[in-house]
């Protein structure tokens, strides 16, 4: 009985982890939050507000990319710079976000 209970808990944990990874790679906002988390700003990644940047940039339209702005702005711990604008790129069904120093 105890092994069965441990197996159920382990399965639930795996499902939760897989769901989080699916969210972070299969949605645009999830990709931005995951990238911010990897940059070392977990508080901003979880509690921050994302909004689409309405920038008119030809390069973004050609590559089918979108720009997002995170508020409040995460601060880079090494340089002290503001990590405000993020570009989301789509590869097949996956989204990858990266910081954009300037559009």
Could you report the per-residue pLDDT of 59-102, keeping only the tens digit for each? 666 567 888 998 888 888 888 888 888 989 888 888 999 988 76
pLDDT reported for residue 9: 94
Nearest-Å Rg of the Cα atoms of the chain is 17
Measured over the CA atoms of residue 70, residue 83, residue 28 and residue 11, the dihedral's sign is negative
pLDDT the model gives residue 97: 92
Banded model confidence at residue 54, pLDDT cuts 50, 70, 90? confident
- Write down the pTM of the prediction: 0.76
Cα–Cα distance between 100 and 6 in angstroms, integer?
44
Our CA dihedral for 39, 40, 44, 45, rounded to 10 degrees, sits at: 60
Q: Decide: helix, strand or coil at residue 44.
A: helix
């Amino acid at each position: 009985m105890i092994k069965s209970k441990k197996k159920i808990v382990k399965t639930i944990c795996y499902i939760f982890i897989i769901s989080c990874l699916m969210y972070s790679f299969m949605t645009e906002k999830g990709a931005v939050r995951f990238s911010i988390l990897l940059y070392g700003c977990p508080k901003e990644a979880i509690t921050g507000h994302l909004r689409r940047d309405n920038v008119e940039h030809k390069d973004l339209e050609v590559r089918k990319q979108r720009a997002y702005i995170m508020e409040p702005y995460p601060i880079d711990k090494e340089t002290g710079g503001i990590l405000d604008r993020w570009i989301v790129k789509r590869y097949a069904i996956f989204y990858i976000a990266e910081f954009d120093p300037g559009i």
